[in-house]
Structure 1
Amino acid sequence: MKVVFWLGSVATTLSLGTSGFAVSSQKYVWKNAKIGGGGGFVPGIVFNAKEKGLAYARTDIGGAYRLNSDDTWTPLLDFADHARWNYWGVDALATDPVDPNRLYLATGMYTNSWDPNYGQILVSGNRGASFNVTKLPFKVGGNMPGRGMGERLAIDPNSNNILYFGARSGNGLWKSTDYGTSWSNVASFPSAGTYVPVPGDTNDYNTDKVGIAWVTFDSTSGSSGRATPRIFVGVANAGSDNVFVSSDAGGTWSAVPGQNNTFLPHKGVLSPSEKVLYISYSNGAGPYDGTSGALYKYNIASGAWTNITPASGSDLYFGLGGLTVDLQKPGTVMVAALNSWWPDGQIFRSTDSGTTWSPLWSWGNYPEMNKYYSYSDSKAPWLGPNYVEINPGTLQIGWMMEALEIDPFDSNHWLYGTGATIYGGRDLLQWDVKHNVSISSLADGIEETAILGLVSPPSGPSLVSAVGDIGGFVHESLTEAPRSSHQNPNWPSTSDIDYAGNKPSYVVRVGTGDSSTGKQVAFSNDYGKTWAQHYGAADNASGGKVAVSADGTIILWKSNTDGVLVSQNQATFGAVSSLPSTTSAIASDKKSNGVFYAASGSNFYLSTDGGKTFTVKGTLGSSTSTFDIAVHPGVTGDVWVSTDKGLFHSPNSGTTFTAISEVSQAWGISLGAPASAGGYPAIYVAANIDGIAYYRSDDQGASWVQINDAAHGFGAASANVVAADSRVYGRVYIGTNGRGIFYGDVDGLTNPITTTSAVVSTTTVATTGPTGTVTEPTPSTTSAVANPWGQCGGLGWSGPVTCTSGFECVVGNTCKRRILVLCLV
């Protein structure tokens, strides 16, 4: 049962759950905090063959997108929630060449033990506005090796009710005759694929069979209304036949004679006017490997194979992946180096069916490079310098280039995917006229990043992020792409980030690299705009979680490699032997310097000596896994802990905990600006209350409102980061594992509380507990004059607002010394 009521001008829906506990849902407006450049691997781009301007992109962990007329992209799978998180792994995509409204996606994240779920085919009749789901009897690997091969999913261009899907893991070729509603195995197909990237891989990621790589219909072999007779299928086999053909609409199959079986076939693209099948090959499944390869064309009529590989000898140090033909200009073909890691990526173009080639760059007088393009990353300036970088070693063209497409209706329009974005342009024919084209980042709307940490400090920028693969950003604006990622030091991934409560401009971040990428701790005194390396970190320590003390003098680090470590005043990190190796969450007090918290299983730990020693303070019920610790920004010892058994609150540094009875399981949690001046901070949590969703409480957990909706599921709740805005009531940031950062505001809330500090101001009293004396603030009611450097205002402040003589209350609500300025004229 649902009841609609109104809070001011905001509509709210009340849902009575099966337990009888009332959870209301409040409408939020959700947007991406713009990063603007994609941020991750785009393994597939597919244009529709019938309707001009209709195209789609698939990503490995961030779902699928539809191209808009202004070159932006619309996400299609944001509805994926905790139960459907693997929908964001898109292993194949097909857009109907007969009915452009039809779209098919093969989704599933992993085929190994990491994902217990079988895959599915998502079927849309309205270009991805909504989907029906057909479950498959096996797993699909959108984020597995070989995910750039394809497309594995294909629609018969003469009889569009027929589809084929090439499965992984030895599951073979599958067919549907009812528009993807049901599927059956093609028992007559001779090979399910034997190639395994790394047999015996201990992390259980590279040990599965890549399977079938692509399906290509020969549209010239049939007529409309009847099943296409000739179908080609590429299979991940090395050292044995890997391209097969059927001439009787899939009834029987045979290996194509004379084929290359040294490499793996990545793409099979038909040039209908030439009646030629072009095939790109690599000696690895990709997207990271590939040190050699080839490009062949197969003349369907004569059966002749021709090696047209555009590089040879020492110039061929990469596999070949992305492949496309110009349907408007027969004989025009382009192919991309799958992995040219140095000096840059490479793309080749031929207008004579591969007889001769021109590259996107060539060597001049070494080390000079001749680059035949202009470059713009204005939509994602963090990608690098916004000009053509002439020096070798800057991967400006890209890497992991498996997606490469020429618009079938516009020979000037082309797009290609990389490991970080989508590039392309609209003057491709200038390649042939001037041997120079315009390349721009064109991934606006594709927010495909894994967010590992977020902080929203009470001053400075509203958000600072820790991001997988691209490091992270200071988000000066939520609607414009950041100018650059975290630099100096620059690590591929940042695993966590924190700020000092009393000095929020002091920020610490942790990287996930090794000694080859420097020591993995850095600090900043200007909210992350500039950084310095922490030389007290060991070269072999990396990853994990970080917490910085209230004054910024102490760093507690739960590393992935060396256990829990602590450093004071930039000294060498030392082991914290009093915390177990199973410690899963750490946090610092935001007011009392030297107070830290930690949790492992059901035990909650407290340190009052700067993280040197911890003792068990209290217990978290029957919890076996702890996920997050959120600390009241203005009250020492007021902590919230999320676990596999629910949500726990302690007002006394963990001496006692109260379990929030309605919460059966919780993950990310954060405290933000209160609903009213002087009130308790709003609490945001990803939890199971009336189902797994995202909730807010304005009354310390006594009641909750659900803040996400059916269109915004945010993927796996257990993998996401939650950060509340400390200055704007109602605003919360959700960092997802694949769809970037979302921020939400209460719909219709016209006057949210916005302050420079959204914390309850306090003074401290001493209490005695099992571990000694701990300072626990209580609200101040004194009206005396504020002491030098003391607090003199702020939200909820009931203390003095006048500073002692010689001091004045300045921005930040702090009494600072009055400075006399003399102007000499």
Structure 2
Amino acid sequence: MKLSTLQLLLAAAAAAVPVQAAFSWKNVHTGGGGGFVPGIVFHPSAQGVAYARTDIGGLYRLNPDDDSWTAVTDSLATDEKWGSWGIDAVALDPQDPNKVYAAVGMYTNDWDPNNGTIIRSSDRGTTWSSTTLPFKIGGNMPGRGMGERLAVDPSNPRIILFGARSGHGLWRSTDGGATFSRVSSFTNTGTYIPDPNDTSGYNSDKQGLAFVTFDSTSSLTVDGATSRIFVGTADNTTASVYVSTDAGTTWSPVPNQPLRFFPHKCRLQPVEKALYLTYSDGTGPYDGTLGAVYRYDIASSTWKDITPVPSSELHFGFGGLGLDLQRPGTLVVASLNSWWPDAQLFRSTDSGETWSPIWEWTSYPDMNMYYGMYTDSAPWIGKGFVERDSKRLGWMIEALEIDPTDGERWMYGTGLTLFGGRDLGRWDENERNVSIRVMADGIEEMAVLGLASAPVSGGGSELLAAVGDVSGFTYRTEAELGTAPEKPWMDPMWASSTDVDYAGNKPASVVRIGNSAGSPQVALSSDGGGTWAVHPGAGTTQFGGSVAYSADGDIILWSPSNGGVVRSQSQGTFTAVSSLPSSGVVAIASDKRNNTVFYAGAGNGTVYRSTDSGSVFVSVSSGLTGVTSVRDIVAHPVVAGEVWVSTNAGLFRSVDYAATFTKISGLTDTQHISLGLGGDAGKWNVYALGRGASGAKLYASADDGRTWVDVQGGQGFGALSACRVVGSANVPGQVYVGTNGRGVFYAKGVVEGGGGTGTTLSTSTRSSTSMTSTTTVSVPTETDSYCEPETTTESSTVGLSTSSAKTSTTSSARTTSTSSARITSSSVGSTSTTSSAIATPTALAQRWGQCGGIGWTRPTVCVAPWTCKYSNDWYSQCL
């Protein structure tokens, strides 16, 4: 039939309509930052224009009205370019507040496969262009708090200088950042190497250049370029500060400079025509036991030691440095790391002649604190850190800035959060009561190590997040996702929690794992993660790894990072599961309805099943087609016997307790997976991080894997292998992604498809049905009612480790990006594999996993093509 023009237009319009609405991603709110902020940069003249850089969480732009922040580099952090969340330097154009530049890359060794880039934006980070450099950049390398290494010439903004690491020297752009070339006349490349014996390259790389500072008070030369430029290097033996007086054509060491320490921050005070510099005997951010503060008078070429305390009283170096440009001669400096009793901040109003500390001893152990600490925007920082640790003011203080347009507003970054306030003038001797507040709203910089979502109707919580460096958080309901938690996981509280799980038939029963050696690292909750108690059967030698809780909450299977899989029943002592390999188990899971069934997966591709509550496991999957590595195992939340396995070859599904598996087409190289409540009653979506038609993305299926939808769109999650995913057990179509550096994202939408339910076989069986490896098993069609959880009474407080804490919080959840999801269809494959005799896999550590260190007893050889790289005496990693 011939179609009319109108019919053709209508058909074309219908075809253009997207099959599925875009998923809009935003952060779960913590309100406190949660990680290291090594640099803050204010525009010198445009009010309210500022950026904060993080080491693993990207770049943030200040929202000046409420001092909140907006992430501006999420779109860059794809799976292939995950290092884009490492920001090693930031620079603003003094003549144009809309222009911002950043040096981007995570590591200079082979951990990051990509070379570094200089990114540039003309719309305050809304869109970016990038220039790839012929070397790597280290936003998460030692010395990342120095800076800034990147600077724009205030007289000619087409000139940009960048101080590189790894011996690559000084680089210049003369076209606004489109291209860069090396400045051959600058020959000192920063010779300091923290540990020449470190074979991983992390501590054995040259620290390189520390800062670039243009002197806006100098006369102009050819093409209007600033003639006087200062550059700092990580060198404490020959010279660390160099100067050019001919716009960078020639360079020489600044005469009579201090040589004992490394420069960290350098700031120009143009009215005084002076430089202020902080020094430490280490390059940071964790070290430093001595240091100094100097003032360099540019006109007279003289140095003056203005260190706030005598050298005999120093036990720290200096990092953060802020100048009040509204009040020449007023500045604030910070100790880099004063691990006890607290950090110290000093303020001077006379160019460093005299200093006023922010606290001082009265009679030990009492202090006079000349400040008030306020954590109302992130209460968990107060309850979990400030009230429990002597280090109230923080640690790793490299960033400290005073707003050049408003001397009352100041900020400083720590290893935990971003502090600051709007009444710096109250530091005056007459008042001595400056306000310090958490000012990290919108900075969500956490490494998320485990996620779970349990039915709230059974006493569970909508979201449980195990987090590196700041323990973890419980969000009871969807309504709490936009509110900063009142407290982190506490009593016991560990620096990091590596995994969390709940009992399928008793969702209020939760178990979590800590990563602090030397104390029990298993905690239980009987109220959905609200309160916790130490597991009475946990020892003090095992830590980290993954955990699985049995359906009825009486058995825990634990695969610690420093030993073989262990098991505890009825809160008894953990004992080894001898039928599983002593190393190489990378995934464990419990059937969420049948209390007798557990699953385990090894790095060599073998899947195991236990039908006697985790006592004995047998191999059930030696014939999985193309599988050489298991990545994740997930049991269906309400259907007994249905289990999904993620592998290098993609997804496999079983509906008969892993007796047989069906290959799921459409995705390959999958990582973490999950099931979540679907859009229709009784339906469940499958979520998988893997490679599909749209590339390496987060995909969803509503029809048991027959079709897959790209639900990630343009939102960056960084490296998919480091992400965690969980579908909501309560909110239809809602899914969470935990990232390695940007906290937890969540989105809600309708996934088009048939609506997966899990295959139902003919005979029902309740969750208490026992199994043996030779039994033909039926899958239940009903779900069991939730039972009241057993009460756990044991409790204990474990010492808190507070080095390099990573946290992230915001007072209101912010949408970071939206994009249309794309559909790709494929049929479910029919290949099946059956259970086989138990086999012991070759012991191999997985990519990113630990493979060595003092006391390490698990695999020391990595799966191909990765190799074991030394980081320090306690830790080596497969990279």
Q: Deviation per CA, 1:496-534, whole angstroms, max 9, x where unpaired?
A: 11111111111111111110xx21111111111111112
Distance 1:189 1:112, change over 3 A: same
Contact 1:11 1:27 in 2 (8 A): no
Deviation at 1:315, TM superposition (A): 2.9
Tell me if 1:217 matches 2:214.
yes
Contact 1:791 1:814 in 2 (8 A): no
Where does residue 17 of structure 1 map in the other structure? none
Where does residue 492 of structure 1 map in the other structure? 495
Where does residue 54 of structure 2 map in the other structure? 59
Q: State how far apart, in whole Å, the 2-side matches of 1:616 and 1:291 are.
A: 54
Deviation at 1:13, TM superposition (A): 6.1
DSSP-derived class of the 2:82 partner = helix
What amino acid sits opposite 1:30 in the alignment? Answer: W
What amino acid sits opposite 2:748 in the alignment? Answer: D
Where does residue 277 of structure 2 map in the other structure? 279
Deviation at 1:555, TM superposition (A): 0.9
Q: State how far apart, in whole Å, the 2-side matches of 1:748 and 1:274 are.
A: 62
Tell me if 1:593 matches 2:592.
no
What amino acid sits opposite 2:403 in the alignment? Answer: D
Q: State how far apart, in whole Å, the 1-side matches of 2:668 and 2:509 are.
A: 36
Where does residue 530 of structure 2 map in the other structure? 529
Among candidates 668, 672, 676, match of residue 672 of structure 2: 668
Deviation at 1:572, TM superposition (A): 1.8
Where does residue 873 of structure 2 map in the other structure? none
Where does residue 472 of structure 1 map in the other structure? 472
Where does residue 454 of structure 1 map in the other structure? 451
Q: State how far apart, in whole Å, the 2-side matches of 1:120 and 1:206 are.
A: 22
Tell me if 1:694 matches 2:695.
no
Q: State how far apart, in whole Å, the 1-side matches of 2:206 and 2:275 are.
A: 25
Tell me if 1:684 matches 2:687.
yes
What amino acid sits opposite 2:515 in the alignment? Answer: T
Where does residue 414 of structure 1 map in the other structure? 410
Distance 1:400 1:329, change over 3 A: same
Tell me if 1:189 matches 2:190.
no
- How do residues 600-615 of structure 1 correspond to structure 2 at under 5 angstroms? 600=602, 601-615=604-618
TM-score by length of 1: 0.88
Distance 1:361 1:532, change over 3 A: same
Distance 1:676 1:386, change over 3 A: closer
Q: State how far apart, in whole Å, the 1-side matches of 2:15 and 2:359 are.
A: 58
Deviation at 1:777, TM superposition (A): 2.4
Where does residue 802 of structure 1 map in the other structure? none
Tell me if 1:442 matches 2:446.
no
Where does residue 32 of structure 2 map in the other structure? 37
Q: State how far apart, in whole Å, the 2-side matches of 1:403 and 1:337 are.
A: 11
Deviation at 1:424, TM superposition (A): 0.7
Aligned pair count?
759
Where does residue 507 of structure 1 map in the other structure? 510
Deviation at 1:689, TM superposition (A): 1.2
Q: State how far apart, in whole Å, the 2-side matches of 1:374 and 1:707 are.
A: 45
Deviation at 1:202, TM superposition (A): 5.4
More displaced stretch, 141-150 vs 712-721:
712-721
More displaced stretch, 339-348 vs 573-582:
573-582
Q: Deviation per CA, 1:442-486, whole angstroms, max 9, x where unpaired?
A: 110000001000100012321011000101011131000001111
What amino acid sits opposite 1:248 in the alignment? Answer: D
Distance 1:474 1:678, change over 3 A: closer
Distance 1:463 1:133, change over 3 A: same
Tell me if 1:338 matches 2:336.
yes
DSSP-derived class of the 1:509 partner = strand
Distance 1:759 1:34, change over 3 A: farther
DSSP-derived class of the 1:384 partner = helix
Contact 1:450 1:738 in 2 (8 A): yes
Contact 2:165 2:209 in 1 (8 A): yes
Contact 2:643 2:654 in 1 (8 A): yes
Q: Deviation per CA, 1:628-667, whole angstroms, max 9, x where unpaired?
A: 1111112222111111111111111222211112112211
Tell me if 1:99 matches 2:96.
yes
Q: Deviation per CA, 1:582-614, whole angstroms, max 9, x where unpaired?
A: 111110111111311011222111011222221
Where does residue 249 of structure 1 map in the other structure? 247
Deviation at 1:571, TM superposition (A): 1.8
Deviation at 1:747, TM superposition (A): 7.4
- How do residues 1-12 of structure 1 correspond to structure 2 at under 5 angstroms? none
Among candidates 379, 386, 395, match of residue 399 of structure 1: 395
Identity %: 53
- Structure number with the bigger relative contact order (C-alpha 8 A, sep ≥ 6) is 2
Where does residue 568 of structure 1 map in the other structure? 569
DSSP-derived class of the 1:718 partner = helix
Deviation at 1:385, TM superposition (A): 4.3
Q: Deviation per CA, 1:153-191, whole angstroms, max 9, x where unpaired?
A: 001011111011011111111111111110011111121
Where does residue 797 of structure 2 map in the other structure? none
DSSP-derived class of the 1:473 partner = strand
Q: CA RMSD in A?
A: 2.6
Contact 2:629 2:648 in 1 (8 A): yes
More displaced stretch, 500-509 vs 576-585:
576-585
Q: Deviation per CA, 1:281-319, whole angstroms, max 9, x where unpaired?
A: 001111111111000111111111110000124531111
Contact 2:490 2:532 in 1 (8 A): yes
Contact 2:81 2:114 in 1 (8 A): no
Q: State how far apart, in whole Å, the 1-side matches of 2:514 and 2:685 are.
A: 30
What amino acid sits opposite 2:398 in the alignment? Answer: E
Distance 1:386 1:143, change over 3 A: closer
- How do residues 615-626 of structure 1 correspond to structure 2 at under 5 angstroms? 615-619=618-622, 620-626=624-630
More displaced stretch, 568-577 vs 472-481:
568-577
Q: State how far apart, in whole Å, the 2-side matches of 1:530 and 1:175 are.
A: 55
Q: State how far apart, in whole Å, the 2-side matches of 1:12 and 1:294 are.
A: 64
Distance 1:767 1:726, change over 3 A: closer
Q: Deviation per CA, 1:383-413, whole angstroms, max 9, x where unpaired?
A: 1249986x9x522111111000000011111
DSSP-derived class of the 1:86 partner = helix
Deviation at 1:566, TM superposition (A): 1.2
Where does residue 110 of structure 1 map in the other structure? 107
Deviation at 1:26, TM superposition (A): 3.9
Q: State how far apart, in whole Å, the 2-side matches of 1:247 and 1:489 are.
A: 58
Deviation at 1:791, TM superposition (A): 4.4
Deviation at 1:774, TM superposition (A): 6.5
What amino acid sits opposite 1:524 in the alignment? Answer: S
Among candidates 714, 718, 727, match of residue 715 of structure 1: 718
Distance 1:387 1:543, change over 3 A: closer
What amino acid sits opposite 1:210 in the alignment? Answer: Q
Where does residue 206 of structure 1 map in the other structure? 203
Q: Deviation per CA, 1:214-239, whole angstroms, max 9, x where unpaired?
A: 00011100349611111111100122
DSSP-derived class of the 1:777 partner = coil
Contact 2:461 2:529 in 1 (8 A): no
DSSP-derived class of the 2:671 partner = strand
Q: State how far apart, in whole Å, the 1-side matches of 2:787 and 2:395 are.
A: 49
TM-score by length of 2: 0.83
Q: State how far apart, in whole Å, the 2-side matches of 1:102 and 1:406 are.
A: 20
What amino acid sits opposite 2:435 in the alignment? Answer: S
What amino acid sits opposite 2:729 in the alignment? Answer: S
Q: State how far apart, in whole Å, the 2-side matches of 1:63 and 1:295 are.
A: 30
Q: State how far apart, in whole Å, the 1-side matches of 2:611 and 2:198 are.
A: 44
Deviation at 1:676, TM superposition (A): 2.3
Deviation at 1:261, TM superposition (A): 1.2
What amino acid sits opposite 2:774 in the alignment? Answer: G
Distance 1:481 1:193, change over 3 A: same
DSSP-derived class of the 1:618 partner = coil
Contact 1:332 1:353 in 2 (8 A): yes
- How do residues 68-467 of structure 1 correspond to structure 2 at under 5 angstroms? 68=63, 69-79=65-75, 80-201=77-198, 204-223=201-220, 226-385=224-383, 393-432=389-428, 433-459=430-456, 460-467=460-467
Contact 1:12 1:25 in 2 (8 A): no
Contact 1:764 1:777 in 2 (8 A): yes
Where does residue 827 of structure 2 map in the other structure? none
